[in-house]
Amino acid sequence: MSKDNKNKNIRIIICGVLVVLVFLGFYLRLFDWQIVHSEEYKEISAQSTSYTEVSDATRGEILDVNGKELAINKTAYNVVINKIYVAQDSLNSIIYNLLELCTVCNAKWNDVLPITVNSGIASFTPDSENEIYYITSESMLNNEDLSTPDEILKALTERYEVENIEDINRRRDVISVRYNMEKSGYSYSKAYVFAENVTQDTVAVISERTQAVPGVEIRVTNERVIKNGTLIPHILGTVGSLSADEYEDNKDKGYEMDDVIGKFGIEAALENSLRGKSGEKTIIKDENGNIVSEEEAVKAEPGNTVYLTIDSNVQAVANYSLQKNINRARAEGESEVKSAKYNKKSQQERLGEDCYCGGAVMISTKDNSVIAAASAPNYDISKYYDPEYNAWLNTNEHAPMFSRTFDGSFAPGSSFKPCVALAALQEKVITKNTSIKCTKRYDYYPGDVVNCMGTHGATALHNAMTVSCNYYFAETGRRLGATTLYMYAEKFGLGVKTGIEIDEATGILAGRDSTVWYEGNTVQAAIGQSDNAFTPMQLATYVSAIANNGKRYQTHLVRKIVNYERDEVVLYNDPKKPTVVADAGLSKGNVNTVKSAMRSVVTSGTATIVSNYPKAVAGKTGTAENAGSDHVIFVCYAPYEKPEVAVAVVLEHGAKGKYAMYTAMDMMDAYFYDKTVKQVQAKGWG
């Protein structure tokens, strides 16, 4: 080997040894940091580093179509413990003093521990199994053998080092705060909300007595305020704290355990628009724990504000009139039942005495925007989180929280006949002059006999619609067939979701959705019975499609979404540019034939009560058999020549159609003539 090669090899070996020594030094240093002195360096790091503090975003507000406030924000005050400024060994003392101040001020603090102590006896709170499981699980105590409240309190006492607190009740309270701190993720980046929405008197007391206490802050926040809780509770919805499942579903979207989220209604459907974005503040402390700088790293962005299509005045009238006419239908039914029993008449029930519920909808025929949507019985969404009120909501036999308008599916009865007529005309199964002889009892299928309310003799479409001849439409439905019939029904929006932003039922289309189907069932379906069941919202959408010559627009509740300052439009549903979602492809002549017949229903048929209305109205009545009194339905659009609105009213077990018609006319008064609830109370229809 040459001398040069030998020197070269020596240099390579030396370099290799140096590299190994350097990396060995790094390794030993890391070992020292992470293993030998890890706790020491963690403590140093906790006192001499920068922290990112997250601030809540302001939630967007919800307004009606005219800008009237529905759900808004109001300034509120929270008592907060900020870990950045708190020494760990003083935390229990700070909590103790805050609890004492809350007692003085009679202020509520966030108490979530599922254990109470009365007269020295500890017990679990009702329905706390899930909470107890969490405490004993590996997420916290990691001891599933703990089974009694005393055992769990003892374990938590040791965990949070509160043995020195002699008063067992106050010790339990400090444990509750520490437990909720741990559960909610109290950290340098996330302050803990000790008490929410405290009074200004409480703010004054706590501010004065904690001036020298580091880490206790009064933070200005926003409280969600519902201006009128009974106006649109089923539409508006509410916000609430994240459940465990909701947190798991949303934690990747930046949600924290103690965040709020829309629970249902518009608050949930438009959560992404309303929520906004949190801000971040960077705080730097020196090695002595002193704050050396604070800087806003990310500015919080408030959520967007939502304008609904709802007109508050029309909605208020709809709520009032629907409930009023339900009460009138029931009162008349009860009176008739009493009279029938007194006079020993054969029919002594099913006269409307069981009418307690219903739904009423008005939409614009220009773009299917929802002007009003009432459901009865109604409730107050602003009291949703009141324990006693919520208990009443969940036990009331008439289920106030169930929206009859969006989720209630009802047999349409004869209000389905315009759909049958349009399908049959368009498919050339009949013409407007086709005559069918009504002999009262239609028994083409012996197993599916249809009875007519009268004996109408030879009758064509116009008269059959006017008098609502079951015989005529049963035969027309037989000729048309179930498959063709439900295909047209789908185009009109029956048995399909309308597309509104909140949850809604799909409804049921006879034949398509029936588990058992016989050919003869078609004649029952053609008169709006069999398995047919539609929501009031679908019925209004269907009538709007007739008014628009077979074109069905997207039904919607949102007019526009703007930024929080309301000077920039994010989304706008232009009423002059409706979205067409279906077209039945009807000829003008066929549509005009059915429209004319629906007008005749009002002028000389089964809805003559509406004939006195100042605007020309085209409509159709419906009576649907079911368990209990018959459901009654009235659907219409107005004005007849230049439609502006479509209305659908359903009274569960209403028995008498006049009360559905009175409701529709009151709603139209609110829309066309700006009548208020007081004016309708003074002089309504009926």
Token pair 């399908």 is found at 423
Reading the block at residue 489, the tokens are 């029904």
Complete DSSP assignment for 410-477: B--GGGGHHHHHHHHHHTTS--TT--EEE-SEE-SSTTS-EE-SS--EEE-HHHHHHHT-HHHHHHHH
Other CB atoms within 10 Å distance of the CB of residue 503:
15
H helix or E strand, kind and range, residue 649: strand 645-651
Would you state the pLDDT for residue 241?
A: 86
Q: Which amino acid is at 372?
A: A
CA 504 from centre of chain: 10
Would you state the pLDDT for residue 410?
A: 97
Contact 542, 464 (CB under 8 A): no
Reading the block at residue 93, the tokens are 């003392």
Helices (H), 198-294: 200-209, 233-236, 244-250, 265-269, 271-275
Alpha carbon distance 218, 214 (integer Å) = 12
Other CB atoms within 10 Å distance of the CB of residue 111:
14
Instruction: State the span(s) of the chain assigned CATH 3.40.710.10.
Output: 312-682
- Please state the φ and ψ torsions of residue 422, each to the nearest 5 degrees: -65, -40
Would you state the pLDDT for residue 156?
A: 95
Q: How far is CA 42 from CA 35, 258, 315, 442, 686, in A?
A: 11, 26, 60, 87, 78
Would you state the pLDDT for residue 253?
A: 86
Would you state the pLDDT for residue 127?
A: 86
Interstrand relation of 62-63 and 305-308 (parallel, antiparallel or unpaired): parallel
First to last CA, the chain: 120
Would you state the pLDDT for residue 264?
A: 96
Tell me which residue of 339, 314, 358 sits closest to 659, measured CA to CA: 358
Helix count and strand count (H, E) for the chain? 22, 25
Q: How far is CA 539 from CA 496, 532, 536, 542, 648, in A?
A: 11, 12, 5, 5, 6
Contact 123, 151 (CB under 8 A): no
Cis check for the bond before 149: say yes or no (omega within 30 of 0).
Answer: no
Q: What is the mean pLDDT of each run of 10 residues along the chain (686 residues)?
A: 58 67 66 59 53 73 98 90 88 94 92 92 90 90 91 94 94 95 86 90 89 85 91 96 87 82 96 85 59 65 96 98 98 96 92 97 98 98 94 96 97 98 98 97 95 96 98 98 97 97 98 95 97 98 98 98 95 97 98 98 98 98 94 98 98 97 98 98 94
Q: Which CATH number fits domain 312-682: 3.40.710.10, 3.30.420.110, 2.40.100.20, 3.60.70.12?
A: 3.40.710.10
Q: Which amino acid is at 178?
A: R
Contact 328, 340 (CB under 8 A): no
Tell me which residue of 222, 220, 195 sits closest to 276, measured CA to CA: 222
Would you state the pLDDT for residue 256?
A: 79
Tell me which residue of 603, 632, 633 sits closest to 618, measured CA to CA: 603
